[in-house]
Amino acid sequence: DTRAGRIELAIPKLRKGSYFPSFLEPRRTAEKALVAVIQEAYVHGVSTRAVDDLVKAMGAGGMSKSQVSRLCAEIDVRVNAFLQRPLEGAWPYLWLDATYIKVRESGRIISRAVIV
């Protein structure tokens, strides 16, 4: 059982010896992997309906919008902490902007960027 619901994870069996994927830790790792996939999809703008489809494709039971939002709330907290952090020291920067104007070049009219 995980925060996202019940997940059954099939791990391949070897004829000799044993195998356990190195990217999975025993027990809670399946949950961590699922949460990581959901959060990655959220960061890349995947809709909650598509996240539900993704979770179902991974073999889990599916997720509601509120479950996805709850799992991704941690990301929002971390992003807000990053955005609100104090900046110390000097941060030089150069601000450039351009406008496009029509110019005649070789008998044709084209748009050219003029940096202001």
Contact assessment for residue 7 and residue 59, using Cβ atoms and an 8 Å cutoff = yes
Contact assessment for residue 67 and residue 34, using Cβ atoms and an 8 Å cutoff = no
- pLDDT of the chain, 116 residues: tens digit per residue: 566 566 666 777 777 777 766 656 555 666 777 888 888 888 888 887 888 888 888 777 777 888 888 888 888 888 899 999 998 998 888 888 999 999 998 889 999 999 87
What's the predicted TM-score (pTM) here? Answer: 0.48
Proportion of the chain above pLDDT 90, given as a percent: 19
The residue extents of the domains of the chain are: 1-88
| Dihedral over Cα of 55, 56, 57, 60: its sign | positive
